Amino acid sequence: IFEQCKNDERCRAAFPELKPNVYNTIQRLEENPIVIAMEDTTRFPSGQVILDGDLFIEALFGGLYNRNVIPLIPLFVKETRASNLNLLRVLVDQMAPDMQGPRSKSRGLQYAVYCFEDQPFNPTALIDSAQNEYPRLRPWYTSGAPRWNRHAICEAWHNARADSIEFQPVRSTIPALILGGEFDPVIPPSYGRIAAKTLQNSSFVEVPALGHGTIAYNQCTRDLVSRFLSSPSESLDTSCVADLPPVSFITDVHINGGVYPMT
């Protein structure tokens, strides 16, 4: 996001110093969180949401999953710095889960898989080393959020651990199609390129302007998957990807109080 906004004339003009502004906002929110009053006390029992540095990073991280949110990230940073409660209230209301409905994922299943497949190959020392590369984000990593406290969870969850063969690359001559979203925060395109190295008959395609999940978002990727599944051994024409537009950051808007919610 930093790189693309800097290279985009309109984005650079609208949001100069985006990278330092993100880190300055994290620090400022840690020191002085923004309190957002919420009317829905079912999802927000306290009647408010406290936007601190951790929640701000979570919002950025989560936004990278969604192709509709990615173009708004620089604007979101700017309006957060301006403490625009109108915008923040709408975003929180839209993004917060419906606690009365079914959960979209099972944490138990997630930890069962993670503790077996991932934890054995991610020792604490390795995680510490990775965190030290981004010291300004380290407070988020070490804040005790379940996302980064998985070692402790795994010790209590189960003691089954995968054999070292699970950490070896898959080597195969079976045809494979690998798609990677440009902004995917959890499975970045670099992972797909690594996988492709030992899949001899594979095609790796980086899809611009998308985050996590690429198949369903445009006709090009849907057609690629369809053609590959129909004829996996034939050469795959991926030229349509080159015609997909890059991310177009939202810069030409003015946000006022508006009328929300309207009943």
pLDDT confidence of residue 261: 60
- The pair of structure tokens assigned to 102 is 């079914």
Using CA of residue 170, residue 171, residue 173, residue 178, what is the dihedral sign? positive
Identify the band that residue 142 occupies on the pLDDT scale cut at 50, 70 and 90: low
Closest C-alpha to 222, from 179, 173, 160, 159? 179
Give alpha helix (H) positions in 49-188.
53-63, 73-81, 85-95, 107-117, 124-132, 138-141, 150-157
27 pLDDT above the threshold of 80: yes
Please state, in angstroms and rounded to a whole number, the distance separating the CA atoms of residues 92 and 215: 28
Residue 83, both tokens: 């403490």
The CA distance from 174 to 67, in Å, is: 31
Query: Considering the entire predicted model, what is its pTM?
Result: 0.86
What's the whole-number mean pLDDT along residues 24-42? 93
Q: What integer is the mean pLDDT of 65-87? A: 92
Given a cut of 70, whether residue 183 has pLDDT beyond it is yes
Percent of the chain at pLDDT exceeding 70: 91
Q: pLDDT band at 100, cuts 50/70/90?
A: very low
For all residues of the chain together, what is the average pLDDT?
89
pLDDT tens digit string along 6-21? 999 999 999 999 999 9
pLDDT at residue number 220:
96
**pLDDT, mean of residues 96-103:** 56
Alpha-carbon distance of 218 to 205, in angstroms, equals: 14
Contact predicate 90/34, CB 8 Å: no
User: What is the C-alpha separation between 197 and 170, in angstroms, rounded?
Assistant: 9
- When pLDDT is cut at 50, 70 and 90, the band that residue 98 belongs to is low
Q: For residue 99, what pLDDT is reported?
A: 46
